[in-house]
């Protein structure tokens, strides 16, 4: 659920973009957002994805069954997923831009910033 909806009851087309980004990251990891297992630790998927992105280890997020695919396509999907879950609603792409990003029409994607609900420690 998008932060702006959970905190203030505000819903917009960007709320759907947030949900889409969570789904992308869940599919890539093979795990649910709230029950993401990192070894013996349980933490938020968005926190784990962001920490690994920042550390240059974004592929550590990916389910081992998906690691045989194109690394560049998987990285692009992680990048897009993180763009969708930006805390600042204005920084999230709209659905039209998402379609272009996924089809490869964006030569370079903007850099994501820290996602909404980012947890600095394990929960």
CATH number at residue 96: 1.10.510.10
The boundaries of the domain holding residue 57 are 3-102
Question: What's the mean per-residue pLDDT of the chain?
Answer: 82
pLDDT in tens, 61-95: 999 888 887 888 899 999 999 999 998 889 999 99
- Whole-angstrom Cα distance, residue 119 to residue 65? 27
Structurally, the chain folds into a number of domains equal to 1
pLDDT of residue 11 exceeding 50, the answer is yes
pLDDT of residue 121 exceeding 90, the answer is no
Contact 101, 93 (CB under 8 A): yes
| pTM recorded for the entire structure | 0.82
Position 46 in a domain: yes
Position 58 in a domain: yes
Position 111 in a domain: no
Position 13 in a domain: yes
Position 67 in a domain: yes
What torsion, rounded to 10 degrees, do the Cα atoms 59, 63, 69, 71 define? -10
Position 117 in a domain: no
Region 11-28: mean pLDDT is 86
């Amino acid at each position: 659920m998008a932060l702006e909806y959970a905190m203030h009851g505000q819903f917009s087309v960007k709320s759907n973009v947030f949900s889409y980004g969570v789904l992308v990251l869940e599919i890539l990891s093979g795990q649910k957002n709230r029950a993401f297992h990192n070894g013996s630790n349980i933490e938020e998927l968005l926190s784990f994805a962001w920490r690994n992105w920042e550390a240059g280890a974004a592929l550590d997020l990916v389910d081992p069954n998906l690691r045989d695919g194109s690394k560049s396509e998987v990285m692009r999907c992680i990048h897009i997923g993180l763009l969708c879950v930006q805390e600042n609603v204005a920084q999230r792409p709209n659905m039209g831009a998402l379609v272009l990003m996924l089809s490869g029409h964006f030569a370079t994607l903007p850099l994501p910033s820290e996602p909404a609900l980012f947890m600095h420690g394990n929960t």
